[in-house]
Amino acid sequence: MARKDPLHFLNVPRQMPRTTPASLRIQEFKEITGQYDRDQASEQAARCIDCGNPYCEWECPVHNYIPHWLRLVEDGRLFEAAELSHKTNSLPEMCGRICPQDRLCEGACTLNDGYGAVTIGSVEKYITDEAFKQGWRPTVDAEPSGKQVAVIGAGPAGLACADVLIRHGVQPVVFDRYAEIGGLLTFGIPPFKLEKDVVRTRRAVMEEMGVQFVLNTEIGSDVSMEKLLADYDAVFMGMGTYQAVTGGFPGESLPNVHPALDYLIGNIRQVEGWAQQGPGYIDLKDKRVVVLGAGDTAMDCNRTAIRQGAASVTCVHRRGEGQLRGSRKEYKNAREEGVKFLFNRQPVAIVEADGKAVGVRFMRTRLTTDGDGQTRIEQVEDSEEVIDADAVVVAFGFRPQPAEWFKANRITVHEDGRVLAAPRGPFYMQTSNPQIFAGGDMVRGADLVVTAVYEGRQAAMGIIEYLGLGRIELPGQQLD
């Protein structure tokens, strides 16, 4: 089909799929961005000017073939677009929804320079959602090799590893301690960013492909690592990073001071109607809520509290507005939904009365530059202030927590607890125990879904070679 007018991008502005207005979306836990129809997807995809030097592909951690699948969508060739999209990404419908596109693919789009970037994430999501709806499934045509791999963790890293293994004739058996797959996609990220049906659909597709899931099973207590090593040809660990970072100030253990993930998981279980195992539901209706931190997790807590009907939600960050760690898109969504932000404030204590938190004490901060050009944050003298609070949510991030069985299984970790795995081989992502591979947050530290997918795929390449099945080079897996 002939290309549309090369100046199409001037006549057709960047247009996201319909987004629910803030006043309505805060009343529900549904995804806030809708879906293109076929014509809208084609119109938006056609805005790509095929600039010849696709910076978008380079900024995308899995190096998706973006201009190529945009062209296929423009031409209405949906199944071919889905096939191509899955060549580089095992979970494109998730990444299309929750990648911070503004600092990855879309941030690098040539049109971002004044014309509005191509809506890459929304088109990526459209391709897989729509192709699945119309019956398309990823191709699995490799001869079974007779090899079996145990995958610990059904998060993005484990799922991506399993996806590549099954497509290359290796049987993955994925173990997870939770009752559903997805890792933080299911038990962390709220449904207004990613509805859980999307994860359920991916599970059904992977099961059809032949991936086996063994859920409600914790490695280390229900099944030992030693047993996995005896029963399987190799093991992949994609166990994430779950040790919450604390502020180290007085009052953090008060009953109405909540760790972010406990708060989010309790709410997801409530919304989905799942049995409350582990942390219970924390209802912040009518409460004055203070959220400490300003990454993706903090934004999710802010927006969850708003939807629960909090009286007010104030998010406090020790740096300035320009140094937010999370996605700008989520910051904008939070502001639209009524979250108040206080920048350049460092919490120094939770204020206590009658055994409960009643406020947070802060010092103002400023950014200073050392002689060697390094910036650091310093507290401003005599700048103490207190904000009243009925509940405090602490969202300072997560660090890896090595399991006590690592040592006995010769798994070496960095000083900060991250598992040591070799990104460049000789077998990609192999740990210090040759039979064990690892990837995702437990290797990188808390990061992104798309980087966990990258490392899960990289590890699968290493495992396939380790099993003597030959060296494969997956598209998009270039080492940077």
Paired tokens of 83: 């096939």
Q: C-beta of 128: minimal distance to ligand SF4 in Å?
A: 11
Q: How many residues bind ligand SF4 (CB under 6 A)?
A: 15
78: exposed, middle or buried (Cβ count in 10 Å: 0-12, 13-18, 19+): buried
Q: C-beta of 136: minimal distance to ligand FAD in Å?
A: 24
Stretch that binds ligand SF4, among 61-69, 146-154, 234-242, 373-381 (CB under 6 A): 61-69
Q: C-beta of 100: minimal distance to ligand FAD in Å?
A: 6
Between strands 212-214 and 391-394, the pairing is unpaired
Q: Which does 452 bind (CB under 5 to 8 A by kind): ligand FAD, ligand SF4, none?
A: ligand FAD
Q: C-beta of 295: minimal distance to ligand FAD in Å?
A: 8
Nearer of residues 218 and 385 to ligand FAD, judged by Cβ: 218
Is the separation of the CB atoms in 251 and 389 below 8 Å?
A: no
Among 124, 130, 163, 337, binds ligand SF4 (CB under 6 A): 124
Stretch that binds ligand SF4, among 56-64, 384-392, 398-406, 456-464 (CB under 6 A): 56-64
Nearer of residues 163 and 296 to ligand FAD, judged by Cβ: 296
In angstroms, the CA 140 to CA 337 distance is 43
Nearer of residues 128 and 256 to ligand SF4, judged by Cβ: 128
Please list, in sequence order, all residues whose beta carbon lies within 8 angstroms of the beta carbon of residue 471, skipping any fewer than 6 positions away.
Answer: 461, 464, 465
Q: Which does 188 bind (CB under 5 to 8 A by kind): ligand FAD, ligand SF4, none?
A: ligand FAD
CA distances from residue 37 to 41, 89, 123, 370 in whole angstroms, order as listed: 6, 23, 10, 53
String of contacts with ligand SF4 for each residue 80-119, x by CB under 6 A: ---------x-----xx--x-x--xx--------------
Between strands 398-399 and 243-244, the pairing is antiparallel
Strand blocks (E) in 200-319: 212-214, 234-237, 243-244, 257-259, 288-292, 312-316
Among 166, 260, 450, 467, binds ligand SF4 (CB under 6 A): 450
Contacts to ligand FAD by CB under 6 A: 98-99, 152-158, 175-178, 183-184, 188-189, 193, 218-220, 238-240, 261, 264, 296-297, 300, 440-441, 446-450, 452
Q: C-beta of 32: minimal distance to ligand SF4 in Å?
A: 17
CA distances from residue 298 to 2, 83, 225, 239, 341 in whole angstroms, order as listed: 46, 35, 34, 22, 11
Query: Identity (one letter) of the amino acid at 375?
Result: T
Q: How far apart are the first and last CA of the chain?
A: 35
Nearer of residues 117 and 351 to ligand FAD, judged by Cβ: 117
To the nearest 10°, report the CA torsion of 203, 133, 61, 118. Answer: -160
Among 120, 151, 268, 442, binds ligand SF4 (CB under 6 A): 120
Tell me how many degrees the CA angle 314-315-318 measures, rounded to the nearest 5.
135
Site residues (vs ligand SF4, CB under 6 A): 60, 62, 64, 66, 89, 95-96, 99, 101, 104-105, 120-121, 124, 450
